Amino acid sequence: MSFESLGLMAELHRAVSEKGYSEPTPIQKQAIPVVLEGRDLMGGAQTGTGKTAGFTLPLLQRLMETSQPHKGRRPLRALVLTPTRELAAQVAESVRDYGKHLPLRSTVVFGGVSINPQKQKLIKGVDILVATPGRLLDHVSQRSVDLSKIDILVLDEADRMLDMGFIHDIKKVLALVPKKKQTLLFSATFSSEIKKLANSLLNSPALVEVARQNAATDTVTQVIHPVDKSRKRELLSYLIGSNNWQQVLVFTRTKHGANRLAQQLEKDGISAAAIHGNKSQGARTRALADFKSGAVRVLVATDIAARGIDIDQLPHVVNYELPNVAEDYVHRIGRTGRAGNEGEAMSLVCVDELKLLKDIEKLIKRDIPQSVIEGFEPDPSIKAEPINRGRGGQRGGARGGQNGGQNSGQKRRPQARRKPAAGKNPRPGKNARRRNNNGNQVRNAA
């Protein structure tokens, strides 16, 4: 099947073939005809399935087909909401690439950078806006954007937006867009929260699903390297050096851990950069660009910062530490093996993390093969210790977001209760507020 046979206009398949795609992916085959018909869509798609083109291509065509003459500034007609700045930037890049032969204008807005240049672009008039919810509302309040002419609304990675506590911002946006419009909602998981949102938002939607829920990507080879915690850094440097890996995405559990590891790798002579929520947007964009161009060999990231990172044919993902939330493992390894390419995901697992490993294997319904690296055999006399989750509980807090921790509709395992170590701050109280990725305050679900 070709892109032409899906009913896409010549300008779009030209753009697609210039990107080097010859055949639509399964989500594109299913979603494109439905969106072209003008129907609402509920899309269940794993990362790396090609879902961005799945909604962007038909969205561009719909805008062309339904375009009306207008007086003055061109009205904003399509809005794509994403949970993170990085994903917003990437979706905006796709909109630009796929729409390069069409006379449509697009831009992107997200927090963490100056609002004024964004305002300038919006005031000139755009057809398509990609935005994170918090910054979009800033623009609404400063009257740089008018949402009353929206024909197509896309909620990308809606599950993550709820996890990150954006539900109130989303509701505010929904109150500002016309009732009559086409709505597309994409989510990797279908929790009861997502179903509730979909029911209130979508009008007899077509349901398009391309992968089993929480199934780890089949094109990714997974392996566990058991190792002592104190030797993880050494093992990582050894694996990178001995295998001559040139582009490796490494996950840590905490921001502090990401910084420290990047510094240590640099000391080992391996160029590395860290990317996490405490870094300025400029630093994050630079780190990602350096990593993509090959100027930096290792990108060390926390879960939230890495969300949405899309690097063509990223061959290696390393879990330096396992995530506290098993679903994040699936998201992490989804960074490799994208769009049919082979990828390799390895996890350095110490004795403290065996419980987390069990949870992951239960979620993905398979045991991950283990391989001990010679010279790095774990010391069997070392006893498991509680895991340091970093300040504020990190993902635990964000996961709970506004929905009180009922994030995925799945049974949550009871969290081990631990006394805070002497002299350390206990986790913030129930009503403590913290800032989420977009600089908005969210209630901590600790």
Q: Which is nearer to ligand AMP, 29 or 77 (CB)?
A: 29
CB of 23 to ligand AMP, least distance (A): 6
Q: Which residue, 36, 46, 30, 38, is CA-closest to 12?
A: 36
CB of 311 to ligand AMP, least distance (A): 8
Q: Which is nearer to ligand AMP, 219 or 271 (CB)?
A: 219
Which tokens hold the place of 205? 């939607």
Q: Which is nearer to ligand AMP, 271 or 341 (CB)?
A: 341
* Sites of contact with ligand AMP (CB under 6 A): 21, 23-25, 28, 47-53, 310, 312, 338-339
CB of 21 to ligand AMP, least distance (A): 4
CB of 276 to ligand AMP, least distance (A): 21
Q: Which is nearer to ligand AMP, 115 or 311 (CB)?
A: 311
CB of 84 to ligand AMP, least distance (A): 13
Q: Which is nearer to ligand AMP, 51 or 139 (CB)?
A: 51
CB of 359 to ligand AMP, least distance (A): 25
Which residues are CB-neighbours of 9 under 8 A, at least 6 positions away? 61, 64
* Cross-strand partners of 274: 300
Q: Which is nearer to ligand AMP, 28 or 30 (CB)?
A: 28
Q: Which is nearer to ligand AMP, 23 or 379 (CB)?
A: 23
Q: Which is nearer to ligand AMP, 217 or 407 (CB)?
A: 217
CB of 19 to ligand AMP, least distance (A): 6
Q: Which is nearer to ligand AMP, 122 or 188 (CB)?
A: 188
Q: Which is nearer to ligand AMP, 191 or 336 (CB)?
A: 336
Q: Which is nearer to ligand AMP, 24 or 58 (CB)?
A: 24
Which tokens hold the place of 126? 């755009």
CB of 154 to ligand AMP, least distance (A): 12
Gap between the Cα atoms of 248 and 337, Å rounded: 13
CB of 299 to ligand AMP, least distance (A): 16
CB of 50 to ligand AMP, least distance (A): 3
Rg (CA), the chain: 22
CB of 277 to ligand AMP, least distance (A): 21
Angle at 334 between CA 308 and CA 330, to 5 degrees: 105
Gap between the Cα atoms of 338 and 89, Å rounded: 18
Gap between the Cα atoms of 258 and 253, Å rounded: 8
CB of 313 to ligand AMP, least distance (A): 8
Q: Which is nearer to ligand AMP, 188 or 322 (CB)?
A: 188
φ, ψ for residue 286, nearest 5 deg: -65, -45
